[in-house]
Amino acid sequence: MSRVFNFSAGPAVLPEEVLKEAAEEMMDYRGCGMSVMEMSHRSKMFQTIIGEAEADLRELMGIPDNYKVLFLQGGASQQFAMIPMNLFKNRVGDFIITGQWAKKAYQEASLYGKANAVASSADKTFSYIPDVSDLPISEDADYVYICENNTIYGTKYKTLPDTKGKTLVADLSSCFLSEPVDVSKYGLIFAGAQKNVGPAGVVIVIIREDLISEEVLPGTPTMLRYKTHADAVSLYNTPPAYGIYICGKVFQWLKKLGGLNAMKEINEKKAALLYDFLDQSKLFKGTVVKEDRSLMNVPFITGDEALDELFVKESRAAGFENLKGHRTVGGMRASIYNAMPTEGVEKLVAFMKDFEEKHAK
């Protein structure tokens, strides 16, 4: 068996320990004679799996009791619609546009009401986070929306916006569980699982109870109401059961590691290896302003497209997969999620140094 260092932005690398355990349990999960994939979601066995997953996530993030944790489907993109369908009362949302995912959420919300772009970093190709200390928040805004870590552009909010008392809604897909979070500052957090926590097909929603109500936009399908899933504890219909099981294993892996403070420390050291190299490199350059750099997604360029292409090709041959930047921005991007071993980043930096020696002018 040989495994590559996978720098994909998602679906992404998962902890080897988790994959091994899942492999061991594949044919016969804890003596029940079947895999988790084949098991009824109403069985006691699965109730325990989902119950423990939720309890572990609550413990890891310190989720207050007045928040529900929902394991849903439809990807992070479905939340772009579910959020306005459920949270629009005045049908007004204020959006901070820091990249494509925030823009998509903004466009989707505008199908249901008034979506205002209250700040944007589009003027500099989303290479920074705008000043969010004094935004023109709308009087009647139902919520303020952010994409906290911008997967494509590699930026991350270091301080949350002043929402002037309005509910904060945040897409944490690409930084979920990478560091501690004060859940009480948000009304709703959501994250697609396929970056830091598990296979694609699960999206985790953490929502304050007072935001869950029967009062939704007319025509909102039953499946797209938070209340449906909150009332049924994520078992209204068949949930993405195998995905939830893997998420649960990742939560346990994180707990064993020492929780989110320990994870953050590892992530900071790992990211510093790459950023420190980029900052002194004669060939490579990071594309994000220093103070807004993400710990998870690190975009960089050589400034020469042909050389970028050669780097992606040669790095691939050397066992580093998925270093090509997003199709819309080009260049390179190393996604170094929780499960990327430090060794992977060390080896990548060594490879970049070699490449630089050969190609720097």
Give contact residues for ligand PMP (rule: CB under 6 A): 10, 75-77, 101, 147, 151, 171, 173-174, 192
Active-site choice (166, 195, 249, 270): 195
Active-site choice (56, 94, 142, 171): 171
The nearer residue to ligand PMP, 98 or 163, going by C-beta atoms, is 98
User: Does 136 sit behind a cis peptide bond, omega within 30 degrees of 0 on the bond before it?
Assistant: no
The nearer residue to ligand PMP, 243 or 286, going by C-beta atoms, is 243
Amino acid at 168: L
Residues 6+ apart with CB under 8 A from 306: none
Q: How many degrees, rounded to 5, is the angle at CA 178 between CA 18 and CA 3?
A: 40
The nearer residue to ligand PMP, 102 or 132, going by C-beta atoms, is 102
Amino acid at 89: K
Q: How far is the CB of 179 from ligand PMP (least distance, A)?
A: 16
Phi first, then psi: what are they for 118, rounded to 5°?
Answer: -90, -15
Residue 255 appears among annotated catalytic residues? no
| Strand partners for 149 | 156
Q: How far is the CB of 192 from ligand PMP (least distance, A)?
A: 4
Count how many Cα atoms sit within 13 Å of the Cα of residue 241 in the half-sphere of its side chain: 18
The nearer residue to ligand PMP, 21 or 321, going by C-beta atoms, is 321
DSSP string, 32-65: SSS-GGGS-TTSHHHHHHHHHHHHHHHHHHT--T
The nearer residue to ligand PMP, 192 or 248, going by C-beta atoms, is 192
Q: How many degrees, rounded to 5, is the angle at CA 291 between CA 287 and CA 293?
A: 50
The nearer residue to ligand PMP, 73 or 110, going by C-beta atoms, is 73
The nearer residue to ligand PMP, 174 or 281, going by C-beta atoms, is 174
Task: Please give the C-alpha separations between residue 310 and each of 6, 330, 336, in angstroms, as whole numbers.
Answer: 18, 13, 21
Q: How far is the CB of 243 from ligand PMP (least distance, A)?
A: 12
Residues 6+ apart with CB under 8 A from 249: 18, 21, 22
Q: How far is the CB of 86 from ligand PMP (least distance, A)?
A: 17
Task: Please give the C-alpha separations between residue 155 and each of 148, 189, 300, 302, in angstroms, as whole numbers.
Answer: 8, 18, 12, 19
Q: How far is the CB of 173 from ligand PMP (least distance, A)?
A: 4
Residue facing ligand PMP at closest CB distance:
75
Residue 101 appears among annotated catalytic residues? yes
Q: Burial code of 239-267, b = ≥16 C-beta within 10 A, e = fewer?
A: bbbbbbbbbbbbbbbbeeeebbeebbebb
Asked whether 104 and 151 are in contact (CB, 8 A), the reply is: no
Q: How far is the CB of 320 from ligand PMP (least distance, A)?
A: 20
Active-site choice (56, 68, 94, 101): 101
Q: Is 58 exposed, middle or buried (0-12, 13-18, 19+ CB in 10 A)?
A: middle
| Strand partners for 150 | 155
Q: How far is the CB of 282 from ligand PMP (least distance, A)?
A: 31
DSSP string, 271-335: HHHHHHHHHH-SS-EE-S-GGGB-SSEEEEE-S-HHHHHHHHHHHHHTTEE--BPPTTT-SEEEE
Residue 171 appears among annotated catalytic residues? yes
Residues noted as catalytic: 101, 171, 195
